[in-house]
Amino acid sequence: MKSLGTQGLILNEKLLFEHSDAGRKGYSLPRLDVPPARLPAALVREEVSGFPELSEVDVVRHFTRLSTWNYGVDSGFYPLGSCTMKYNPKVNEVAARTPGMAAAHPSTPDHLSQGALALMHDLQEALAEISGFPAVTLQPAAGAHGELAGMLMIRAWHEAQGNSRKKVLIPDTAHGTNPATAALCGYEVVPIASDGVLSAAAVAAAMGGEVAALMITNPNTLGLFEAQIREICQIIHDGGGLVYCDGANLNALMGIARPGDMGIDVMHFNLHKTFSTPHGGGGPGSGPVGVTAVLAPFLPVPVVVEEQGTYRLEVDRPLSIGRMKAFGGHFGIMVRAWAYIRSMGGEGLKRASEMAVLNANYIRARLEGTYHLPYTARSLHEVVFSDRDLGGNCHTLDLAKRLIDYGYHPPTIYFPLVVKGAIMIEPTETESKEVIDEFCDAMLSIAAEAGENPDLLHQAPKKTRVGRMDETGAARKPRLKWEK
Amino acid sequence: MRYIPHTAEDVRQMLETVGVTSVDDLFAEIPSSLRLRRSLALGEPLAESELLKKIRRLAAQNATADTHASFLGGGAYNHFIPAVIDQLISRSEFYTAYTPYQPEISQGTLQAIYEYQTLICQLTGMDAANASMYDGASGCAEAVLMAVRATGRRRILLSSALHPEYLATVRTYCRYLDLDLIEVPCDAGGGTDGAALLRLLDDRTAALVSGYPNFFGVIEDLSAQAAAVHAVGGRLVTVVQEPIALGLLKSPGELGADIVVGEGQSFGIPLSYGGPYLGFFAVRQGDIRSMPGRLVGQTCDREGRRGFVLTLATREQHIRREKATSNICSNQGLCALMATIYLALLGKAGIREVAGHNLAKAEYAKGKIAALPGFSLPLSGTTFNEFVVEADEGAAVVLERLEKEGILGGIPLQRYFAGMDKRFLVCVTEQNSREEIDALVSALAGGKQ
């Protein structure tokens, strides 16, 4: 077996609490240069019971060892569909750590924060140019948070017109967060069936006077372009509704086409997907939102505005939906995204989308015929297969675990929900032909193994520090914290 | 295009395999009327050196604790960040990983989150914690939604001594959910008014939400609040915006809180002009299944080796869709890792010592400022590391004068409260030396002479 993964020195490591030894600490304070003070005794706790006691080297070694049990984009190929795990440029990390950026307090007066505000304003304008939306807010803290901001704006717009529609249309290819977001805005969700791509006729049949909005993802979670998007937007608008677009898949469209030009009214960006900011083991992300001029008055506060070369945070906006969080947003992530956009320029971003789409189609061409392709329409930046043709009673989960033995992070599995046994692969543009060829070889080799020696798949992974976990047991008797 | 590896020859071969003649053909499904017929107006790509020069120039236009003596707090705190933290989180196996969906190759993230959950439980005195909240304010809003789910009631009492931006965030989240949000006024000490609270509490009340310490730095009487709200069958939601205080203060769990949320930025996370920060969220055993966010649980593999997985996913958006407990789909992994490393370094003794320094420095500053003519401390409540100052000549004038001396003296409360034009919020941490505090006091006095 040709394999990137191998076995080597895998160190064991206890929990922090199991290392602890009374009297150690890994922190130093300057001598207290003022008199000590006391709180009233009734307010004071004895100690933080259970807290560890460790030296600096204990802590460093602990987390260094833990890091070696993780797989990141820098370790290798991470084709997690719909998550856009592209390479995270190192200079972006340096930019975000520049002391004048990293140490700026959010309550500093505007006139002493001109650098931060200028960068935010510049990022807003760049996102507007990329998406075709005239107004952008940077405040939301993640994609799902941006979705919530966007849907709240849609509802606020309807309410401002004295219109209290209660339904939101959501196609079956939508992201999992979309229905939950609509529910948080007090909406009732009406699902629409699609045949891979949403048809204008299906939208027309579902549209009515009670419908406030349609939530769509374009390209959708099958990696397909919603080709009738303009007609769909027209139908919703004619019926008095608005269109929300989940921007999770914007990486396919930069410099190619702009959601704002398609008739969409609101869209969130995922800075941690499209704009190369690292995902940190699940966060932090950042979810700016772009809107049409009609919706601009409803943006959450604060909004960064520029007047004659001076920037300020505007909070007094009577139609605003309010605040989504404290302070202005995930500024550290904004710095990274800004650095990426400026490093790439307009042509670079277009090239990124082109190569992301080329990579996905190349994988599709190499695996089609061996793996079942449930939807055959042309793919953009990601491609969805299924486990239908895998032999040996092997399923998507077995394939995913076997890929780990080959040294790859598995693709997204069992998503989108419309495909039984889905395997969703998104290579992004930062992977070379060489990497993709090796990955495809592994996928083909695993398909052969499934027929010949399916136990290799059922028992996988074999080379990791731990094997398949008892997840049922974990949920049945939850152990969510360490206890002596 | 230093991040894109494709050579012209790679592209040619790949197009051939795909069976198209040009890259443009790959986009044939996009109607031509929707295609952008021009280049994006984003300028030329910058070389790495040009980019760094530009970012440094921008950074130089921002005031920080390096350029000024800073007494800014109000929900974001200037605490010392040990070098270990940035070194460890810069290991790219941590920061370039995604949500740990594949436990066999994500044990590093999963174990760190499990340790984080444990540390937060120990600090707050609660049974379970998640690492999913974006910040203290959105965590506070999620706590309100959870109290509504858990009690089936729709009336929420919010202390008006909560951080005003947290209050605003709660209002945004609840805009269209048909809830009754009622503010409880403050008393002369700067805490939530106990008598007003008793008048407003009734059997429709889902929760009381109050700070600990609150926005004015005042330590609330949580025991009394817990007794009052429990008497009507509601929940006490405690919001900790400065969790260093928990190194000294009795834990909210011990005092009767049912849900504890707060801002974890104080635990080794850079100020970064407001984010990313870390909302913490902790509950009691009985509420685990109605709490939002991702949870990590301990389990074992087929060989019996200990390991960790994301668990209790039946509450989540990708399974229950419109019935999910919230729409959150991330965890705040890297920020939770920073907090875990910070708390591990401090440990049992360090957290208490840092809290003690904060208290001592703030008390020293309070004493000096209270003695100045023209200045007073208008609130009588016990405080931790921040407090309200009143200036006869007006806060704006005073703060402007301090700024000229290179001091960021505090947050003017007029920004949030009409009529508080004489008051400002001063925060003193372990980072402020006696010399700096003396300079603040002398600059305050300067205008009088």
The per-residue pLDDT for range B173-209, each reduced to its tens digit, is 999 999 999 999 999 999 999 999 999 999 999 999 9
- Are A369 and A300 part of one and the same domain? no
> Does domain B69-80+350-445 match CATH 3.40.50.300?
no
CA atoms of A428 and A167, how far apart (whole Å): 35
Interface contact flag, A141 B298, Cβ < 8 Å: no
Q: Looking at residues A66-90, what average pLDDT do you find?
A: 97
- Are A175 and A273 part of one and the same domain? yes
C-beta atoms surrounding B400 within 10 Å: 13
Tens digit of each residue's pLDDT (9 = 90 or more) over A118-169: 999 999 999 999 999 999 999 999 999 999 999 999 999 999 999 889 999 9
Q: Looking at residues B403-429, what average pLDDT do you find?
A: 97
Given CB atoms, is A422 within the 8 Å cutoff of chain B? no
Q: How many domains does chain A have?
A: 2
- Are A255 and A364 part of one and the same domain? no
Cβ atoms A427, A360 nearer than 8 A: yes
Residue B318: pLDDT over 80: no
**Closest alpha carbon to B114 in A17, A26, A73, A65:** A17
Distance from CA of B233 to the nearest CA of A (A): 25
Query: Which residues of chain A have a CB within 8 Å of the CB of B299?
Result: 469-471, 473-474, 479
Interface contact flag, B331 A283, Cβ < 8 Å: yes
What's the CATH code of the domain at A172? 3.40.640.10
Interface contact flag, B332 A283, Cβ < 8 Å: yes
- Are A339 and A350 part of one and the same domain? no
- Look-up: residue for tokens 């008095």? A240
Is A338 a member of any domain? yes
Weakest mean pLDDT among A146-150, B51-55, B269-273, B318-322: B318-322
Cβ atoms B92, B278 nearer than 8 A: no
- Are A252 and A370 part of one and the same domain? no
Peptide bond before A411: cis, by omega within 30 degrees of 0? no
CA atoms of B442 and B369, how far apart (whole Å): 9
- Are A356 and A289 part of one and the same domain? no
Cβ atoms A471, B288 nearer than 8 A: no
Interface contact flag, A70 B36, Cβ < 8 Å: no
Given CB atoms, is A61 within the 8 Å cutoff of chain B? no
CA atoms of A142 and A177, how far apart (whole Å): 12
Tens digit of each residue's pLDDT (9 = 90 or more) over B129-181: 999 999 999 999 999 999 999 999 999 999 999 999 999 999 999 999 999 99
| Residue of B105, B300, B306, B320 to mutate when probing chain A, most A C-beta within 10 A | B105
What CATH fold (topology level) applies to the domain B83-342? Aspartate Aminotransferase; domain 2 (3.40.640)
Supply φ then ψ for residue B179, to 5 degrees. Answer: -110, 155
- Tell me the two tokens of residue B225: 């609040």
Is A71 a member of any domain? no
- Tell me the two tokens of residue B37: 């017929």
Interface contact flag, A328 B311, Cβ < 8 Å: no
Q: Around B226, how many Cα atoms within 13 Å sit in the side-chain half-sphere?
A: 17
CA atoms of A428 and B27, how far apart (whole Å): 16
Q: Report the chain B residue with the minimal C-alpha distance to residue A362.
A: B18
Distance of CA B138 to the CA centre of its chain: 8
Residue B449: pLDDT over 50: no
Picking from A291, A320, A344, the residue at the C-terminal end of a domain is A344
Interface contact flag, B17 A48, Cβ < 8 Å: no
Cβ atoms B285, B127 nearer than 8 A: yes
CA atoms of B20 and B25, how far apart (whole Å): 6
Distance from CA of A205 to the nearest CA of B (A): 22
Q: Which of residues 193-222 of A touch B (CB under 8 A)?
A: none
Cβ atoms A458, A394 nearer than 8 A: yes
Crossing angle of the two packed helices B48-59 and A114-131, in degrees rounded to 10:
130
SS3 A135: strand
Given CB atoms, is A376 within the 8 Å cutoff of chain B? no
Given CB atoms, is A76 within the 8 Å cutoff of chain B? no
Picking from A283, A310, A344, the residue at the C-terminal end of a domain is A344
Please, which pLDDT band fits residue A187 given cuts at 50, 70 and 90? very high
- Looking at residue B23, what DSSP letter applies? G
- Tell me the two tokens of residue B125: 């005195």
State the distance between the two ends of chain A, measured CA to CA, in whole angstroms: 44
Residue A20: pLDDT over 90: no
Distance of CA A56 to the CA centre of its chain: 33
- Indicate the average pLDDT of chain B: 96
> What is the amino acid identity at position B373?
P
Interface contact flag, B18 A478, Cβ < 8 Å: no
Cβ atoms A79, A411 nearer than 8 A: yes
Please, which pLDDT band fits residue A100 given cuts at 50, 70 and 90? very high
Residue B235: pLDDT over 80: yes
Closest Cβ–Cβ partner in A17, A93, A108 for B72: A108
Is A247 a member of any domain? yes
| Residue of B55, B99, B316, B387 to mutate when probing chain A, most A C-beta within 10 A | B55
Q: Give the dihedral of Cα atoms B218, B219, B220, B221; nearest 10 deg.
A: -140
> What is the amino acid identity at position B140?
C
Residue B401: pLDDT over 70: yes
Burial category of B134 from C-beta neighbours within 10 Å (exposed 0-12, middle 13-18, buried 19 and up)? buried
Distance from CA of A239 to the nearest CA of B (A): 22
Closest Cβ–Cβ partner in B23, B249, B306 for A45: B249
Interface contact flag, B305 A321, Cβ < 8 Å: no
| Residue of A325, A382, A402, A415 to mutate when probing chain B, most B C-beta within 10 A | A325
CA atoms of B308 and B301, how far apart (whole Å): 9
CA distances from residue A339 to A261, B91, B194 in whole angstroms, order as listed? 26, 20, 51
Residue A234: pLDDT over 60: yes
Is A300 a member of any domain? yes
- Are A332 and A354 part of one and the same domain? no
SS3 A307: strand
Burial A140-156 (b: 16+ CB within 10 A, else e): bbbbbbbbbbbbbbbbb
Tens digit of each residue's pLDDT (9 = 90 or more) over A284-328: 999 999 999 999 999 999 999 999 999 999 999 999 999 999 999
Distance from CA of A289 to the nearest CA of B (A): 16
Distance from CA of B200 to the nearest CA of A (A): 26
Query: Which residues of chain A have a CB within 8 Å of the CB of B1?
Result: 344, 348, 351
SS3 B205: strand
SS3 A116: helix
Tens digit of each residue's pLDDT (9 = 90 or more) over B321-371: 777 778 888 889 999 999 999 999 999 999 999 999 999 999 999 999 999
Interface contact flag, B104 A182, Cβ < 8 Å: no
pLDDT, position A402: 97
- The interface predicted TM-score (ipTM) is 0.97
Please, which pLDDT band fits residue B447 given cuts at 50, 70 and 90? low
Tens digit of each residue's pLDDT (9 = 90 or more) over B108-120: 999 999 999 999 9
Is A476 a member of any domain? no
Q: Edge-to-edge, what's the strand order for the sheet holding B155-159? A: B128-133, B279-283, B259-263, B235-240, B205-211, B155-159, B180-184
Interface contact flag, B403 A144, Cβ < 8 Å: no
- Are A330 and A461 part of one and the same domain? no
CA distances from residue B6 to A91, A247, B9 in whole angstroms, order as listed? 21, 26, 8
- Looking at residue A31, what DSSP letter applies? P
Is A165 a member of any domain? yes
- Are A218 and A124 part of one and the same domain? yes
- Are A198 and A292 part of one and the same domain? yes
Distance from CA of A351 to the nearest CA of B (A): 8
Tens digit of each residue's pLDDT (9 = 90 or more) over B74-97: 999 999 999 999 999 999 999 999
Weakest mean pLDDT among A326-330, B144-148, B221-225, B315-319: B315-319
Radius of gyration of chain B from its Cα atoms, rounded to whole angstroms: 25
Q: Looking at residues A215-226, what average pLDDT do you find?
A: 95
Please, which pLDDT band fits residue A4 given cuts at 50, 70 and 90? confident
- Sequence-distant (6+) residues with CB within 8 A of A272 are A278, A279, A283, A284, A285, A286, A333
Is A406 a member of any domain? yes
C-beta atoms surrounding B359 within 10 Å: 24
Q: Looking at residues B376-395, what average pLDDT do you find?
A: 98
Given CB atoms, is A378 within the 8 Å cutoff of chain B? yes
Interface contact flag, B118 A17, Cβ < 8 Å: yes
Alpha helices in B125-190 (DSSP H): 136-151, 164-174
Query: Which residues of chain A have a CB within 8 Å of the CB of B403?
Result: 109, 112
- Are A326 and A415 part of one and the same domain? no
Query: Which residues of chain B have a CB within 8 Å of the CB of A66?
Result: 107-108, 111-112
pLDDT, position B317: 66
Q: Report the chain A residue with the minimal C-alpha distance to residue B368.
A: A34
What's the CATH code of the domain at A381? 3.90.1150.10
Residue A381: pLDDT over 60: yes
pLDDT, position A317: 96
Interface contact flag, B333 A280, Cβ < 8 Å: yes
- Sequence-distant (6+) residues with CB within 8 A of B304 are none
- Are A209 and A330 part of one and the same domain? yes
Supply φ then ψ for residue B426, to 5 degrees. Answer: -105, 135
Is A484 a member of any domain? no
Residue-range definition of the domain harbouring residue A428: 346-467
